[in-house]
Structure 1
Amino acid sequence: MLKQAKVSAISAAVSLALGALATPAFAQQASAQQLERVEVTGSRILSVNAASPAPIQVMTSADIAASGATNLQDLLLKSPVFGTPGISRTNSNFSTSAGGVATVDLRNLGADRTLLLVNGRRYVAGISGSATVDLNTIPTDFIERVEVMTGGASAAYGSDAVAGVVNLVLKKGFSGLMLDAQVGQSQKNDDKVKKFSATTGVSSADGRDNIMAHFSISQQGAVYSANRDRSSVDQLSQFALTGEASDIATVNRPAYSSFTPQGRFFYTGADGKPANYTYDPSGKEVPYTGALGFNRNAIRQTAIPTDRLLLAANGEKALNDSHSLFFESTYAATSTKTQIEPFAVDSTGGSNPIYSGGFYVPAEFMVNGKLTRNPLVPDYIYNLATDRDKDGAKDYNFTRRLSEIDNRGARAERDTFRILVGLKGDLSKTWNYEAYAAHGFTKEAQHSTGQVNAANFRNALEAIPDANGKAQCRDPLARAQGCVPINVFGKGSISPEAAKYVRADGSLMTKVEQTFAGATVSGEPFSLPAGQVGVALGAEYRKEKSRDEADALTQAGLNLGNARPITEGEFNVKEVFGEVRAPLLKNLPFVKALDANAAVRFGKYSTVGNVTSWNAGLDWALNSMFRVRGTTAVSTRAPNIGELFQGGNQTFPTGIADPCKGVTATSVGAKDDLCRKDPGVMQNIATNGKFTVVQPDSQSISGYDFGSTSLKAEKGKSNTLGVIFSPKGIEYLKNFSFTADYFDIKIDDAISTPGRQLTLNQCYAGVAAYCKDVTRRPTALGALSAGSIALINQYNINAGSRATSGVDLTVSHAMKLADGQLNSRLAYTYLIKSSLTAKEGEAPDYSQGEVGASRNRWVLNVGYDRGAFAVQASVTYIGHAYLDDQSFSDTTDENDKVIRTARENQKMFGEIKAKVYTDMQMSYKLGKGFQLYGGINNLLDTAPPAIVSGLPGNVTGTETDAGTYDAIGRRYYLGMRYNF
């Protein structure tokens, strides 16, 4: 829940705002409608009959209401033009930050390449270091329509519009009161939804002055993995163990974690053989078996609980007949809570061991010249243990689930504020202007649980007897600082005092700020034989700042988690732009009208220097029924603050293959020569006869991910070509329309990290620039070998490209039927090609037809209204797909044909069948202004495909791809609206 004080304060602010609206300066009546020049998404030119040469899909407030959506993301993702979101309620439970944020991703090209606008202007980001907007901060019921334009739009809107723009047009000029209250839940009695919103507005008698305010509060409850049969138990695909495609369909269920609350203890006995044991439910020492493991899915969430409180207002005040002031303001308070299983600690191995460098947990210590037993260590292991790390004392190591500490997770409180003020008006009958300035910020305060202080944990493990024979921490300084010995042997063995001593709750404070100002002048300077030429000229200034600061232990990586240093940076950009629309031909055979459009934008970034974006388009109306449209554009995306200034986040990669493995003192080859230049490698060869790595070496590879101030802007090239059929002149087809648009988008100099294996391979292929990011151990350290890899760092670079192409089809029709109105609309996308090239010169990785990038997707909306009754249905289709081929030892060509060797066809094992989801809503008007409505989402309870742990595309804890498919199931809601 949101903090009560915050709720009370904002509720009071809403009351004051609504009270201000009731002042007699305004009369609650609408003015007569007048023809006015409007701005179409993708263009800055105002026109009475503007048409876009670029494809635009529109979703109205009626569509939003008919969906019952609490969050706009839930509705947008049904559209086939959007890919799997980078972050949503159902795929971010394991995120260390941004859990529960709602983003959209046009064409699967990345959320940072989709520019989200509000009323045609930028909106502040919701994630630190990025340009990605959190849709949780947008009041859904305050939106008049959503306009989605795919293809490059940087010439009109600047950086980030490489894949396209999503323009949220808010309601304006409204007089009256609208209320909406809704409750709902899933058929499993979770995902509980509560929502209330109020929108009110008043206008002056002439309609030129208006002010509106909106208040809404909503709660979306948690969904736990344990509450769905398919995800209630830990499971693992056999493919994860064998790498064989034929094992994809073989699922090990249960596949419990060996990190258990009772612990698992390892030692080497006097016979020199490694051994381990655990405890059964009665507390008896027994050999470990999988049946005694821990079910992590009993703790995990499928959907993150999300609370939202939103306050928005906008208004316009006429100064005279030609000029008016306007403003927009939004405040959003969002609370989310992630939850996963307690921390799994490995005392010696793994990515974040308590004891590093090949050392183990001491079972005894030298005290006053005499070996003294650690009193916490039970007889069972003490009597069998030996000295493995050669320090003269018996030792052991263990793995354990720290259930006595807490579940891991984070509660995040986010506040977003944005205000924009502006002046607009007419300079003459054909010229107008608009000037505006805005400031916004998003702050996040996150509190995380489940981590432990590594130094305190070591101190607590190392116990000796006190004068009374009781355990005390060996280090006197640690004892003075409150050290409490920790007993890790058995379930529930850690005392509350010891748990408190080692516990290290984390914190994360972030802030994103955006300030911008701009001005545009548009008009019609002269005429051509086919009509008036329209132009727009303008300039903008924008400044972005971001800071990300974790607690001190997290920054240093001393809480058994990865190090996360401060990331802070800022940039500014100054831009000028121009646009022209020219009518070329008119009223000729096969040319009712032919209009051309062109735009260019020049920008100067404080980080990447000068950039240029442009577009050009043609709109050709053959007659009153057929139109052809096409665009070509070059767009840019400047690197964001995280990509530029990230402070070196630590990671522990797996699966790294050392190119030097097997090299001898006499082996030949350029790679071998490079390996032998490292003194540690030579020491290893001298010891073993050839360069040898052992398991601890592979498990101890670390590295840091850095931003880079050497980045340059990405460049996107897009082309669209479409046809429109709208036979308004045919009576029975007058409300029918059909569009077909081809799109082709390619992004060069794409910002990415090269990958650690690539860095290593390039270094030993003779590319010296990569070698500076590889560090080897100069000598042996405990169980770690001389010459083994210690660090592989990587930096963001401009490398490779991304590309996608396909066809969008839309069909809509409206007709009278049985004294009612039947409306239908189909939106379909066929994905021709989608690829990622990690590095120039490498073969592209094609993803069309894979999970999250099905070739065929569509959504069909059908609605019928008759009198007071209305029914709406939405059918969403996600076509069949295959698992990511890069996870197999096979390759895929651009036609998605699998090239196999001795195995059977991958598609027999990796195919994911098509899924169809049906949503339905019914409503009934009770009288003037009142409407009851109810709906069922996922009416047929379509289950998501089984993409279990160990398979590509799996979202941990959900046993499916919960970003692409519905992992919650059938849900019901009931609501009431009032409109007066």
Structure 2
Amino acid sequence: MKTRTVSSNVARLLTGTGLVMGALLAAAPLHAQEASATDAADEDAVILVTGSRIQRDGYDQPTPVTVATTEDLLLSVPTSIADGLNRLPQFSGSRSRTFCCEVSSVGNYLNLRGLGTTRTLVLLDSRRVVPTRESGDVDVNLLPELLIQRVDVVTGGASAAYGSDAVSGVVNYVIDNRFEGIKANGQFGISNYGDDETVKLGIAGGASFSEGRGHFVIGVEHFRIGGISSLNDRPTSRRGALLAGNGTAATPYETIGGARHNVSTYGGVIINAAGLPVANAGAPLAGTKFLTGGASDAFQFGTAIPGSPAFSVGGDGILNNLADPAQSLETQKIYSRLSYDFSDNLTAYVRVNAGVSKTEGDVLADHRSGAAAYTIFRNNAYLPAAIAQQMDLAGVQSFRLARFNRDIGPMRLDYVNNTFDVNLGLEGKLGDAWNWAVSYGHGETRLKGRVHNVSNLAKLYAAADAVVDPVSGNIVCNVTLTNPGAFPGCVPMNLFGEGAPSQASKAYAFGTSSQFVKNTQDVFAAEIQGEVFELPAGPVSVALGAEYRERSLLEKSNEIALGQIQATGIRGFPGSFCPTLATCRYGGWNQGNFGTADASDNVKEGFIEALVPLLRDAPLAEELDLNAAFRYTDYKNSGGVETWKIGLSYKPFEDLRIRAARSRDIRAPNLFELFAGPVNAFQPGLTDPLTGQTNVIAVTRTQGNPNLKPEKADTLTVGFVYTPSWFPGFSGSVDYYEIDISGALSATTSQGTLDACQRGDTVACSLITRDPSTSAIQQIVLQQINLNSRLARGIDFDLSYRSEIGSGELGARAQFSRTLDYIDTVGGVKTQQAGFYNTGNQLSLPKWRGNVSLDYTIGAFSLFVQERYIGSITQMPPLPGQVFAKPKIGAVFYTDITATMKVQGLGGDFEIYGTVNNLFNRKPPFIGNRFAAGLGFPTPPNLYDLDNRYFTVGARVKF
């Protein structure tokens, strides 16, 4: 990829809403023109702040910036600019698609250094855009693409320059607002397996008017990717993977295929108190399974798996494999901008960005097992006669029935996200040395989410208890006799054998949970910049400004999701949901119990930044510049914080530049993290390390934490750039980074909380409530917490070469990132994550990631070849001391190739292209989970390719 690492505009103005100091580069003139890539510089114009508008090989400032042109990003992966960004080695852990079973991701969220999507600030033309999720993140699928000129990635802390959230860096989408003419693009892609097809269409235009004083651009785009509809559609995921064993030396963890989960069947099986189909004194009928039509037979276990008593290879157990590996996505976007020069010193503009995205896909199916199994009573109207006779002989009045409701189908997600963002402003000059700008932006997003075919727990268990009405002789729900009027319209459900439930009973017990989220943001900004005085080495430039932001979050849900389960009169209602009728949990859906939030705050900021040239043309100091910035930010909810940066750029001689920067960066908790209303649900498949119990179902309570404090990061970057005059066409850079976050905000998980508590983390233990007599888990609180610290250290390498070879031009590039440390400290316990795949939080951090590419152009034909490298990772055990049979997952190489041909004589610049990603059809590593056989795609989906080989063909034209 022909991205270039260049210097940051260190005099970056407040959150990117205005002008940048013209004297950012001592070798450059104070003013340069805001222009498209083909326009010449104009010393009388101003430059729109982007963080790195000046694209040159000087690498002149302390903070490194990676600049990626749209053309180069799409050469690598033509589906989208965001997908191209996620293949840069600086990005790790981005949520690029909605994969099984990441219900909450729904979008494309960029993640620098693996430090979290909320620590990566996303800008559009250097301006903040409204969040698209309640989490405060920005779905970059909703940003324009066709008019994007390039993407600037600041790969270091930048809060003093950009404000809150720029802890790991900034991603700035830069628009070609001076585009003139018309351009269009159309393409189609399909996987090696004939699915996950993509369709991408777009058209954009731009024109000047009023003798060049006015300019207007507009772009309209459509994109759709079909998704992967079944785990059986990929050779890796159809194998029924399981992380078997218990981590001891005798039975180490090991991913195996062909596993089955022996806690239930598709047509139902009788289980004992431990949740297994094994007969004992308390459950003499356990091990009886039900076949289609209601017949019964003995459950077959298959081959036992040492260390995993609830699983076997083969047998009658279930595969929890009904979810879509990757969900479908469709977006429609429009971008437009109108500007007008009222004079040489005054320009007005208005910019509008709007879009809608729709995500659909299947997730987990309803599963009644363990503590959540049905209780079947002797007088159940659908009970097969043979089983009733066995109950009478055994002297039992009820049994517990586990059932994976495959015949009812999986839950289906349906999310629609609408965004609208408008920005308008005035820009001008004061004399020859000062520029000013004022702007206002307003944005709104409205997210409507629905989870279809999800069980209403009260209705489901009411329908399962079917009896014969002694008066009418009809089969009815027992609760209609014991608690008349509480469940009107209850339809009894036959559970014996796959396909037994009637359509009417399914329609009664299953429904749709809904969610509505509205984010709003208003931003007022003003700034001024210019030269204040001269030093022997050049002019001292300053920039100062202020900003005021208001933001609000409104989240609504539905009555069932928010209300307490009403189980009065329902026989056999599981105690895991209702220990007593008075203590039934809140949240009546099996999944999809969305909470509520209604919160707002405001932010006041002021900043000053200066560039001071210290030396010029001195012995061993051709250039030496000092850059310093300070910002004070006052959050209504979180209080005041100070951020700063100081950096040096030193050029001892022409070929070498040394750069270093130190900064204090912050991220304040967002509204959702602070004030999200409680959502009660349950988490199945847990392993309790305290009691040793497996397949535990625990009640969870997800809620906001108003006691959160802003996290602070101390960031250090040191590097050098070498552009040897003795080797024309070559340039290279090496940059070390260290980001040390104190009070880091992090979301807890059920299994992660249990494991951390067992390791001695007192904070995690405080979030778990247990029965004092049995130690059974009663509740796990899930929320954001301030960790002790998170430390990330690494080195970025970037080498490039370009030269004429024969009749054409050859380009070569190598970009690599080496993660040295990624250490979380919680409760005094340090966890090194660099080089590991954490099976608890799904974080994958190879120590090495990189891309090597070659491109060659001769005449109308060009060829691009890229080799992607994902280094080896080691599986991290859930608890210290546990082991894997084969802990290391080897390095993975992917080969991508793109061929482009320009066609002459069609009245414009016309070209056709074709891309093959993962040319050699490399399958992802086979990595199972320890909770359920076949659950999800058995590999970290945001690290490896799920489609294997992928083909894209397209055409683009420009007039």
TM-score, normalising length: structure 1:
0.82
In 1, Cα distance between equivalents of 2:58 and 2:424: 27
Q: CA deviation at 1:854?
A: 1.5
Does residue 1:489 correspond to 2:481, yes or no? Answer: no
Secondary structure of the structure 2 residue equivalent to 1:62: helix
Could you say which residue in structure 1 is the equivalent of 2:791?
803
In 2, Cα distance between equivalents of 1:253 and 1:45: 56
In 1, Cα distance between equivalents of 2:929 and 2:750: 23
Q: Which amino acid aligns with 1:934?
A: G
Q: Which amino acid aligns with 1:736?
A: F
Q: CA deviation at 1:311?
A: 0.6
Deviations 1:848-898 (A, max 9, x none): 3557221221112221112111111222111122112455525xxxxxxxx
Could you say which residue in structure 2 is the equivalent of 1:338?
361
Could you say which residue in structure 2 is the equivalent of 1:375?
381
Secondary structure of the structure 1 residue equivalent to 2:431: coil
Deviations 1:803-832 (A, max 9, x none): 111111111111111221112221111121
Could you say which residue in structure 1 is the equivalent of 2:203?
198
Pick the aligned partner of 2:851 from 832, 850, 859.
859
Could you say which residue in structure 2 is the equivalent of 1:949?
929
Could you say which residue in structure 1 is the equivalent of 2:659?
629
Q: CA deviation at 1:148?
A: 0.9
CA contact (8 A) 1:924 1:931 kept: yes
Mapping of residues 433-832 of structure 1, within 5 Å: 433-466=436-469, 467=471, 469-474=473-478, 475-476=480-481, 477-478=484-485, 481-555=488-562, 556-561=586-591, 563-652=593-682, 654-657=686-689, 699=696, 701-727=698-724, 729-730=725-726, 733-752=727-746, 775=769, 788-793=776-781, 795-832=783-820
Could you say which residue in structure 2 is the equivalent of 1:918?
895
Does residue 1:289 correspond to 2:300, yes or no? Answer: yes
In 2, Cα distance between equivalents of 1:769 and 1:802: 16
CA contact (8 A) 2:293 2:496 kept: no
Q: Which amino acid aligns with 1:717?
A: D
Relative to structure 2, which stretch is displaced further, 402-411 or 471-480?
471-480
Does residue 1:149 correspond to 2:130, yes or no? Answer: no
Q: 1:63/1:120 Cα in 2 relative to 1: closer, same or farther (>3 Å)?
A: same
Mapping of residues 869-888 of structure 1, within 5 Å: 869-887=861-879
Q: Which amino acid aligns with 2:444?
A: F
Q: 1:709/1:270 Cα in 2 relative to 1: closer, same or farther (>3 Å)?
A: closer
In 2, Cα distance between equivalents of 1:31 and 1:918: 35
Could you say which residue in structure 2 is the equivalent of 1:899?
none
Relative to structure 2, which stretch is displaced further, 802-811 or 855-864?
855-864
Pick the aligned partner of 2:943 from 932, 956, 964.
964
Pick the aligned partner of 1:88 from 88, 96, 109.
96
Q: Which amino acid aligns with 2:64?
A: P
Q: 1:469/1:121 Cα in 2 relative to 1: closer, same or farther (>3 Å)?
A: same
Could you say which residue in structure 2 is the equivalent of 1:266?
271
RMSD: 3.4
In 2, Cα distance between equivalents of 1:473 and 1:272: 27
Mapping of residues 59-458 of structure 1, within 5 Å: 59-85=68-94, 87-89=95-97, 92-99=99-106, 101-128=107-134, 130-204=135-209, 207-223=212-228, 224-239=230-245, 241=246, 243-244=248-249, 247-249=252-254, 251-255=256-260, 258-266=263-271, 272-274=282-284, 275-280=286-291, 284-290=295-301, 291=314, 293=316, 296=319, 299-346=322-369, 349-350=370-371, 353=372, 360-363=375-378, 373-385=379-391, 394-458=397-461
In 2, Cα distance between equivalents of 1:765 and 1:68: 42
Q: 1:417/1:941 Cα in 2 relative to 1: closer, same or farther (>3 Å)?
A: same
Deviations 1:642-691 (A, max 9, x none): 21112223354633355xx8xxxxxxxxxxxxxxxxxxxxxxxxxxxxxx
In 2, Cα distance between equivalents of 1:171 and 1:821: 26
Q: 1:588/1:40 Cα in 2 relative to 1: closer, same or farther (>3 Å)?
A: farther
Deviations 1:196-219 (A, max 9, x none): 111100024754421100011011
CA contact (8 A) 1:750 1:799 kept: yes
Secondary structure of the structure 1 residue equivalent to 2:462: helix
CA contact (8 A) 1:930 1:978 kept: yes
Q: 1:621/1:715 Cα in 2 relative to 1: closer, same or farther (>3 Å)?
A: same
> Greater helix percent: which structure?
1
Deviations 1:403-437 (A, max 9, x none): 34332121111111111111111112110011111
Could you say which residue in structure 2 is the equivalent of 1:934?
914
Q: Which amino acid aligns with 1:192?
A: E
Structure 1: stretches of 5+ with no match in the other structure: 1-27, 364-372, 662-693, 779-784, 891-902
Q: Which amino acid aligns with 1:523?
A: G
In 2, Cα distance between equivalents of 1:757 and 1:750: 20
Secondary structure of the structure 1 residue equivalent to 2:903: strand
CA contact (8 A) 2:545 2:606 kept: yes
Q: CA deviation at 1:608?
A: 0.9
Q: CA deviation at 1:713?
A: 0.6
> Greater strand percent: which structure?
2
TM-score, normalising length: structure 2:
0.84
Q: 1:486/1:859 Cα in 2 relative to 1: closer, same or farther (>3 Å)?
A: same
Q: CA deviation at 1:30?
A: 9.5
Q: Which amino acid aligns with 2:348?
A: L
CA contact (8 A) 2:136 2:672 kept: no
Deviations 1:936-979 (A, max 9, x none): 11111111111123399x99421111110111111111111110
Secondary structure of the structure 2 residue equivalent to 1:75: helix
CA contact (8 A) 1:313 1:329 kept: yes
Relative to structure 2, which stretch is displaced further, 599-608 or 507-516?
507-516
Secondary structure of the structure 2 residue equivalent to 1:941: coil
CA contact (8 A) 2:74 2:80 kept: no
Q: 1:601/1:480 Cα in 2 relative to 1: closer, same or farther (>3 Å)?
A: closer
In 1, Cα distance between equivalents of 2:799 and 2:552: 43
Q: CA deviation at 1:911?
A: 1.1
In 2, Cα distance between equivalents of 1:869 and 1:578: 49
Q: 1:701/1:304 Cα in 2 relative to 1: closer, same or farther (>3 Å)?
A: closer
Q: 1:97/1:497 Cα in 2 relative to 1: closer, same or farther (>3 Å)?
A: same
Q: Which amino acid aligns with 1:93?
A: C
Deviations 1:672-716 (A, max 9, x none): xxxxxxxxxxxxxxxxxxxxxx979x9464342332212111000
In 2, Cα distance between equivalents of 1:451 and 1:759: 27
Q: Which amino acid aligns with 1:656?
A: D
In 1, Cα distance between equivalents of 2:790 and 2:280: 58
Secondary structure of the structure 2 residue equivalent to 1:384: helix
Q: Which amino acid aligns with 2:829?
A: E
Could you say which residue in structure 2 is the equivalent of 1:20?
none
Could you say which residue in structure 1 is the equivalent of 2:578?
none
Q: CA deviation at 1:517?
A: 1.4
Q: Which amino acid aligns with 1:823?
A: G
